[in-house]
C-alpha cells in the first residue's frame, strides 16, 4: 500500500498563516458538559508545537448536533494552552467577522482556536472537494490562509468542508499524527493475512453496520465477533432477545437481519452477557434478558470462544470495547480479549480512544502492531474504503508536484 502525501517539511510554512484541522473531539460528561479527557488534545499539540514559526489556526469539531457532547471548544482551548505551556487564543466564531479579524491579527508564533466547526451547519454535511471549496466556511476563511495541515485522522472518513475543502485550494500536507498513522498502517498492512477477524463493539450503530457490510464484502473480515450495543442489535435480529431495544437502536434491527441472512457464516454473537444484580456481576443467556437490565459485558463462555478465534487468526482488528471496563467487575471481557490479541501470532490492530485507554490499563500495548485513537475512520480504512482525508492529501501532493490528478 503506497499513499502519497506531503509532510510539514515539504511546505515552506515559516511566517505563513496555517489552518490545522485536528480532531480533539473528546469524551464529555453528559450531566455537566465538562471535558473528561485530554488525550486527543495532547496528541494534537505535537504538530502544533512544530509550527512555532507560523501563525496557527486550530480547527476541530466536537460531538454531534443535538447530543450532550455538542459543546463549545473553549475548555479544549484552555487544556491545549496548559499542554503547550503558552497562551492559545480562542474565538467564539467559525467563519464570521470575529473569526476573520482574529486570524488577521495573528503574529508569528501565535496559536488561535476557532469555535466547534459543527456549530456551522455546513460542517455537518458531506461534499465533493469542489463543492466543499465553495462552502462559506472554506471560501470565507481561505482568503486569510496560506496553507492547510490535515491532522484529523479520526475524521478521515468524513468529506466535510474542513477535511476536503481547504485541501482543494490551498497547499496542503499531513500533520505529524496523520503521517505517523499512515506510515504505520502501510507497514502493518504488508503483513496482514487471512483469516481476518473483526471484533466490533461501540455505540455508533449506523457507522458499524456500514463498516460490517464493507469489511465482509471486500474480504477483510472472515469472522465478525460482535460485542456491546451492536451485539445486542444483532441478537435482537437473530430473535435471541425477547424485549425490544430502545427505539433509537431498535430501528437498526431490520438492517442487521439483512446482513445476518446474507453473511450468516461470518457472524458470531454473544452467547452469554453480564448484568449487575444487587451490586454483583451476574452472567445470563441473552434470552433471559429483561428490558430493565443493562448489559455491561460479555460473559465467560463468549470470552472463551472469541479468544480462541482471535488467537488463531492471521489478522485481528478490534474496535470498541466489549464492556464497561471502567466499572468494577465488568472489565473482564475487554481485558481478556485484549490479552488474547496480545498473544496472537497474527497482525493485530486496535482502534478507538476507549479501547486504546483499556490497552494501557492491561499493560500490553507493546504487543499490538498498530494502536490508533481513530474509531470509525480506521474501520473504514480496514474495510478498504477510500477515505476523503487521504484522497485530499493525495490530490494536494499531486497538485504541488504539478502532476495530473487522477480521481
Which residues sit at the interface with ligand 3PG, rule CB under 6 A? 23, 25, 64, 154-155, 158, 204, 375-376
Integer Cα distance of 101 and 89 in angstroms: 13
| Neighbour tally for 9: CB within 10 Å | 10
Integer Cα distance of 198 and 319 in angstroms: 8
Smallest separation, CB 361 to ligand 3PG (Å): 20
Smallest separation, CB 207 to ligand 3PG (Å): 6
Smallest separation, CB 279 to ligand 3PG (Å): 32
| DSSP-assigned states of every residue in 14-33 | TT-EEEEEE-----B-TTT-
Q: Which burial class, exposed, middle or buried, applies to 284 when counting CB atoms under 10 A from its CB (0-12, 13-18, 19+)?
A: middle
- By beta-carbon proximity to ligand 3PG, the closer residue of 65 and 194 is 65
Smallest separation, CB 352 to ligand 3PG (Å): 8
The DSSP 8-state label assigned to residue 28 in this structure reads B
- By beta-carbon proximity to ligand 3PG, the closer residue of 158 and 332 is 158
Smallest separation, CB 382 to ligand 3PG (Å): 14
- By beta-carbon proximity to ligand 3PG, the closer residue of 202 and 270 is 202
Smallest separation, CB 374 to ligand 3PG (Å): 7
- By beta-carbon proximity to ligand 3PG, the closer residue of 338 and 377 is 377
The DSSP 8-state label assigned to residue 126 in this structure reads -
- By beta-carbon proximity to ligand 3PG, the closer residue of 175 and 376 is 376
| Neighbour tally for 81: CB within 10 Å | 16
Asked if 109 and 52 touch (Cβ cutoff 8 Å), the reply is yes
* Whole-Å CA distances, 67 to 98, 203, 246, 355: 26, 13, 16, 22
- By beta-carbon proximity to ligand 3PG, the closer residue of 63 and 195 is 63
- By beta-carbon proximity to ligand 3PG, the closer residue of 255 and 399 is 255
- By beta-carbon proximity to ligand 3PG, the closer residue of 21 and 236 is 21
Grid cell at residue 240: 435471541
Smallest separation, CB 151 to ligand 3PG (Å): 12
Smallest separation, CB 69 to ligand 3PG (Å): 9
| Neighbour tally for 379: CB within 10 Å | 28
- By beta-carbon proximity to ligand 3PG, the closer residue of 23 and 181 is 23
Asked if 268 and 200 touch (Cβ cutoff 8 Å), the reply is no
Smallest separation, CB 63 to ligand 3PG (Å): 7
Backbone angle region of 329, left / alpha / beta, with phi > 0 → left and psi within -120 to 50 → alpha: left
Asked if 21 and 9 touch (Cβ cutoff 8 Å), the reply is no
Asked if 237 and 260 touch (Cβ cutoff 8 Å), the reply is yes
Backbone angle region of 320, left / alpha / beta, with phi > 0 → left and psi within -120 to 50 → alpha: left
- By beta-carbon proximity to ligand 3PG, the closer residue of 154 and 333 is 154
**Terminal CA-CA length for the chain:** 17
Cα angle: 335, vertex 337, 340; to 5 degrees: 110
Smallest separation, CB 44 to ligand 3PG (Å): 12
Backbone angle region of 204, left / alpha / beta, with phi > 0 → left and psi within -120 to 50 → alpha: beta
Amino acid at each position: 500500500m503506497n499513499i502519497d502525501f506531503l509532510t510539514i517539511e515539504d511546505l515552506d510554512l515559516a511566517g505563513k498563516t496555517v489552518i490545522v484541522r485536528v480532531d480533539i473531539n473528546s469524551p464529555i460528561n453528559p450531566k455537566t458538559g465538562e471535558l473528561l479527557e485530554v488525550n486527543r488534545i495532547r496528541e494534537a499539540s505535537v504538530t502544533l508545537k512544530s509550527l512555532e514559526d507560523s501563525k496557527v489556526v486550530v480547527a476541530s469539531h466536537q460531538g454531534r448536533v443535538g447530543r450532550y457532547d455538542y459543546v463549545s471548544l473553549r475548555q479544549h482551548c484552555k487544556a491545549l494552552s496548559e499542554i503547550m505551556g503558552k497562551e492559545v487564543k480562542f474565538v467564539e466564531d467559525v467563519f464570521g467577522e470575529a473569526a476573520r479579524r482574529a486570524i488577521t491579527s495573528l503574529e508569528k508564533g501565535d496559536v488561535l482556536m476557532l469555535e466547534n466547526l459543527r456549530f456551522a451547519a455546513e460542517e455537518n454535511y458531506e461534499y465533493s472537494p469542489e463543492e466543499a471549496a465553495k462552502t462559506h466556511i472554506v471560501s470565507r476563511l481561505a482568503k486569510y490562509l496560506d496553507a492547510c495541515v490535515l491532522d484529523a485522522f479520526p475524521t478521515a472518513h468524513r468529506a466535510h468542508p474542513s477535511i476536503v475543502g481547504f485541501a482543494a485550494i490551498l497547499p496542503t500536507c499531513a500533520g505529524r499524527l496523520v503521517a505517523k498513522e499512515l506510515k504505520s498502517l502501510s507497514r502493518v498492512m504488508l503483513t496482514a493475512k487471512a483469516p481476518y477477524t473483526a471484533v466490533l463493539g461501540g455505540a455508533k450503530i449506523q457507522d458499524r453496520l456500514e463498516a460490517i457490510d464493507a469489511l465482509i464484502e471486500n474480504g477483510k473480515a472472515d469472522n465478525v465477533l460482535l460485542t456491546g450495543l451492536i451485539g445486542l442489535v444483532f441478537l435482537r435480529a437473530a430473535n435471541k432477545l425477547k424485549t425490544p431495544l430502545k427505539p433509537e437502536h431498535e430501528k437498526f434491527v431490520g438492517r442487521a437481519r439483512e446482513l445476518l441472512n446474507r453473511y450468516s457464516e461470518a457472524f458470531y454473537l454473544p452467547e452469554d452477557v453480564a448484568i449487575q444484580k444487587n451490586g454483583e456481576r451476574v452472567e445470563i443467556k441473552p434470552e433471559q434478558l429483561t428490558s430493565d437490565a443493562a448489559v455491561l459485558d460479555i460473559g465467560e463462555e463468549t470470552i472463551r470462544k472469541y479468544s480462541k478465534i482471535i488467537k488463531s487468526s492471521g489478522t485481528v482488528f478490534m474496535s470498541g470495547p466489549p464492556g464497561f471496563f471502567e466499572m468494577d467487575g465488568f472489565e473482564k471481557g475487554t481485558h481478556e480479549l485484549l490479552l488474547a490479541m496480545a498473544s496472537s501470532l497474527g497482525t493485530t490492530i486496535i482502534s478507538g480512544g476507549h479501547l486504546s485507554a483499556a490497552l494501557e490499563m492491561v499493560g500490553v500495548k507493546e504487543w499490538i502492531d498498530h494502536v490508533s485513537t481513530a474509531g470509525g475512520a480506521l474501520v473504514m480504512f480496514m474495510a478498504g474504503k477510500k477515505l476523503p482525508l487521504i484522497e485530499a492529501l493525495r490530490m494536494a501532493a499531486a497538485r504541488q508536484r504539478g502532476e495530473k490528478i487522477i480521481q
